[in-house]
Amino acid sequence: MRLSAKALKNVDSINAWSYTENWTVRSDGDSGETVSLYFQLVDLDRDSIRYIPSALATMSVTFPALDDLALITIAATVAFSDDRSIMKVDIASTQLPYSGAVRFALTDGGVTKSFVVYGFISVEKLNAGSC
């Protein structure tokens, strides 16, 4: 089984959301925006159908950075109890991820499955030195 994730946007309920190519967040200098980023787990070996982990599974999401001090790891939570394939991470305004790849690690039944999604987050820098 090869796991991956699909980015979601406009998430209002278990039945109201859309797929998107990547997450987009904004930052302005040393502060960002508080935002919830949603994703759906999928099994690539089964034509990208949703993957539903057990109720005891845990998921961590890591936003890599060249500077180890800027690396961000956040525990994901299940967004809707009726569909455990949809998860979310909450980013605080003080956490400033970089654009690019995002690493995921799902631990279920004592087994950890890790994967990377390249180009999964885009960070728009507001007021980046322009007039």
The confidence score (pLDDT) of residue 30 equals 74
Instruction: Write out pLDDT tens, residues 5-34.
Output: 999 999 999 999 999 999 999 888 777 889
Q: In this model, does residue 66 exceed pLDDT 70?
A: yes
Question: Where along the chain do its domains lie?
Answer: 3-125
Residue 2, phi then psi, degrees to nearest 5: -115, 110
Instruction: Write out pLDDT tens, residues 96-105.
Output: 899 999 999 9
Under a CB-based contact definition with an 8 Å cutoff, are residues 106 and 61 in contact?
A: no
Residues 6+ apart with CB under 8 A from 82: 14
Give dist(CA 64, CA 70) in Å, integer. Answer: 8
> What pTM does this model have?
0.92
One of 2.60.120, 2.60.40, 1.10.3470, 1.10.510 is the CATH number of 3-125, namely 2.60.40
